[in-house]
Amino acid sequence: MKILKLSLGVLALGLFVWPLEFHSASVQNPTQPYVREITLAGSNTLQAAAVGVDALQSPEIDPAFDYADDGSGPITTLSGTVLSSVVVNRTIGRGSGAGTEMFSAEGARGSGTLLASFDGLTHRQQRLANNGNQFSLEPPDQGLCVGNGYVMEAVNDVLRVFDTSGNPQLGVVDLNTFYGYPAAINRTTGAYGPEITDPSCYYDIATQRWFLVVLTLDRVGTTSALAGTNHLDIAVSQTASPLGAFNIYRLPVQDDGTQGTPNHMCTGGPCLGDYPHLGADASGFYLTTNEFNFSAPGFRGSQIYAMSKRALAAGAASIGVTQFDTANYLLGGLPGHTVWPAVSPDVEEETDGGTEFFLSSVAVFSSTRADNRLRVWALRKTETLDDANPKVSLDSTFVNVNTYAVPPKADQKVGDIPLGDCINDTTTTITSLGTPFTGCWKALFAPPEPAHTEVESNHVDTNDSRMQQVIYADGLLYGALDTAVNIGGATKAGVAYFVILPRGNGHAPSVVRQGVLGLANNNLTYPAIGVNKEGRGLIAFTLLGADYFPSAAYVSFDVEQGTGPIQVAATGLGPEDGFTAYVAYVGKTRNRWGDYGAAVADGDDMWIASEYIGQTCSFTQYIAAPFGSCGGTRTTLGNWHTRISKVRP
């Protein structure tokens, strides 16, 4: 999730809290869903363009975005111009909660067998894709789907297909080209294309189709300014192979009454359909967003979109979409926030009449940043989504769980930070960029000169305890989220997981199993839980702290036996050293990190993907030709990697 820029919210209880706007879009019947149609916009195939060359180009960072996420961060170009950015908030509030005691660590499960592990997409590949007509960006939100002998990974803002041995099946494909748009930035003409973010990916066994969803924000012409219109772009393969053609549908989500959307009266005009995620059951395909005001502070509530999965798979000319606004379904005075839809590893999984389940958390709404409730959502009668007039309905209830809390930022092991060193340097003679000059910072900035006070950041982003990936298997819901955990005398970022019986003979939802994972002196961040149809699987996450550079890790999991010991699939080689770590670029140390990982069942095996740091280099290596590439292992402004692993739990 890349961060757009909004003005600051109000200060309350020592926290920055964004005003909540829980008003109904429909006066006559607030719970009546909004129904419309979207049409087939065209088709495209995965086409990889030539790879660009190492070069710092202006603008290197998209000027529409403020990665500080609070309105304070300037975007400084190579020409020294400080550009004003549009700001859109991606979370409701600031601050962490008190840590909870770790009541589950290593359980009875074994460690599982690591069958394969290989690097997925990297910042270097992302920046140099499409002839280099891309921006430097952080973080790489993780989309992973597996099936029919293929592994497809999508991140901000590229994708790639591998076989199950990790061999690439084509080059790196930029998402702008795949969805039929101009390049993110044309380095020859300076024209901007639409901004794409937040990819999610799914292979559906029943229809044998690949689904890829992104959020796209339109520009004002070819300028960098954002127009306010935004849409979910849905790509559906025409065959069981991701290497063939995809049909593309566009679902407008600005909800200001334009382009067939309802009017939710967002302040300033359009709304933003942030943080989209997908789910599916036997009948339906589901998308959810967090709806904010686009150009003013304020969160409204999650949106839920339901449509026929079979119609999408068949490439129908038009698709009916039923939209539910959770601002009309207040419970305890709260709308939904990050209402994550479930997917199932079992093609036969179905409930009476069709029910799609969702999970969401509520700690982010609390002034203490902690809570002991999750919210279970049920979309009923989903089998009617194939009908001309679907009869789906939405309900939700709380389920009591052990307390979880918004985690603190994560620290990371000390290591080389050549980008930070370059910003600080005023004495080294640089010869790798042509005419020699003194002071490495001059390669990155024109006057005014930045302060040379950068340090390795111990403020790597963690999440805000929003729900992460949700699975429905054998009648149970599985979910995980980030939490604050007290361990080794300190409060660290950990993982809370939950197994919930969502319904049974008219009874309220109940907890079947729950626990908290942590590791002394370290942090576990951005979990993704995945299980097979027997309830065995993994919880994947990034591991970082005093003992680990950001690493890709996991635990095995079983609904009956709990979790196994922490296993490292790929050990991080150095600290995160991207541009969001430094005050000179974003106004503070932010260290944007991937906002979600992925875990996918493929028969008895599990595939997982997490962000990690797969390279390290010294300042001397960084300034050697080609400048900033460290021998082709990174780019000047970023060094993130992703890791894809296959594990038999």
The model's pLDDT over 498-535, given as tens digits with 9 standing for 90+, comes to 999 997 556 799 999 999 999 999 999 999 999 999 99
Q: What is the mean pLDDT of residues 97-119?
A: 74
Q: What is the pLDDT of residue 14?
A: 27
pLDDT at 616 over 70: yes
Q: What is the pLDDT of residue 504?
A: 57
Quote the number of domains for the chain: 1
Q: What is the mean pLDDT of residues 584-599?
A: 88
Can you spell out the DSSP letters for 566-606? -EEEE---S---SGGG-HHHHSS------S--EEEEETTEE
pLDDT at 349 over 80: no
Q: What is the pLDDT of residue 570?
A: 98
The mean predicted confidence, pLDDT, of the chain is 89
Q: What is the pLDDT of residue 488?
A: 87
For 550-582, write each residue's pLDDT tens digit.
Answer: 999 999 999 999 999 999 999 999 999 999 999
Angle at 192 between CA 189 and CA 195, to 5 degrees: 155
Report yes or no: 105 and 116 within 8 Å, Cβ to Cβ: no
Domain contains 389: no
pLDDT band at 111; cut points 50, 70, 90: confident
Domain contains 16: yes
Domain contains 242: yes
- 12-26, 263-277, 303-317: least confidently modelled range: 12-26
Tell me which amino acid residue 334 is. L
The one-character DSSP state at 225 is: S
Q: What is the pLDDT of residue 56?
A: 93
The pTM (predicted TM-score) of the whole model is: 0.93
Domain contains 346: yes
Report yes or no: 547 and 413 within 8 Å, Cβ to Cβ: yes
pLDDT at 15 over 70: no
pLDDT at 231 over 50: yes
Q: What is the pLDDT of residue 516?
A: 96
Three-state DSSP string of 348-399: CCCCCCCEEEEEEECHHHCCCCEEEEEEEEEEECHHHHHCCCCCCEEEEEEE
Domain contains 205: yes
Domain contains 448: no
pLDDT at 361 over 90: yes
Domain contains 355: yes
pLDDT at 74 over 60: no
The one-character DSSP state at 474 is: T
Domain residues for 311?
10-364+394-415+454-648
